[in-house]
């Protein structure tokens, strides 16, 4: 089972507006006002989305400036990628077992002469 922070990451990503915000941040850091602009959303509504992203560690907010610029943070995305990799290994092992089972089945069939 993945640790809880993964569910926070997925929950944060499972929203088109928040993904669009992240996509916007690829271009570089931005203020809440910049981010609100393309969405025709109120600043408090955007702030709410930013809080979810910040809690999930997907963005970091500057303390240095009055406008607290938002920027992307890499770590949670890497964690998700590692988690998916874990599933890949899990499926490799599952297919190993399928292969062994198939071999057993076929040798039994041969013994019983119904090839």
56 closest CA partner among 9, 19, 7, 10: 9
**Taken in order 69, 75, 77, 80, is the CA torsion positive or negative?**
negative
Q: Which of 41, 52, 60, 77 binds another protein (CB under 8 A)?
A: 77
Of 86-115, which residues contact another protein (CB under 8 A)?
87-88, 90-95, 97-103, 105-106
**Cβ nearer to another protein, comparing 66 with 115:** 115
Biggest CA-to-CA distance, the chain: 81
Determine if 84 is a binding residue for another protein (CB under 8 A). yes
Cβ(80)–Cβ(9) below 8 Å: yes
Cβ(25)–Cβ(72) below 8 Å: yes
**Cβ nearer to another protein, comparing 37 with 82:** 82
**Taken in order 47, 53, 56, 59, is the CA torsion positive or negative?**
negative
Closest CB 24 distance from another protein, rounded Å = 11
Of 18-37, which residues contact another protein (CB under 8 A)?
19-20, 22-23, 26
What residues line the site for another protein (CB under 8 A)? 1-2, 6-7, 10-11, 13-16, 19-20, 22-23, 26, 72, 74, 77-78, 80-82, 84-85, 87-88, 90-95, 97-103, 105-106
């Amino acid at each position: 089972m993945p640790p809880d922070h993964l569910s926070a990451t997925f929950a944060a990503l499972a929203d088109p507006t928040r993904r669009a915000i992240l996509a916007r941040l690829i271009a570089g850091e931005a203020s809440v006002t910049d981010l609100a602009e393309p969405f025709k959303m109120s600043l408090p509504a955007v702030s709410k989305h930013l809080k979810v992203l910040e809690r999930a560690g997907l963005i970091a907010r500057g303390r240095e400036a009055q406008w607290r610029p938002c920027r992307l943070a890499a770590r949670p995305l890497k964690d998700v990628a590692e988690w998916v990799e874990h599933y890949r290994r899990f499926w490799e092992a599952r297919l190993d077992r399928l292969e062994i089972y198939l071999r057993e089945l076929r040798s039994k069939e041969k013994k019983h002469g119904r090839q």
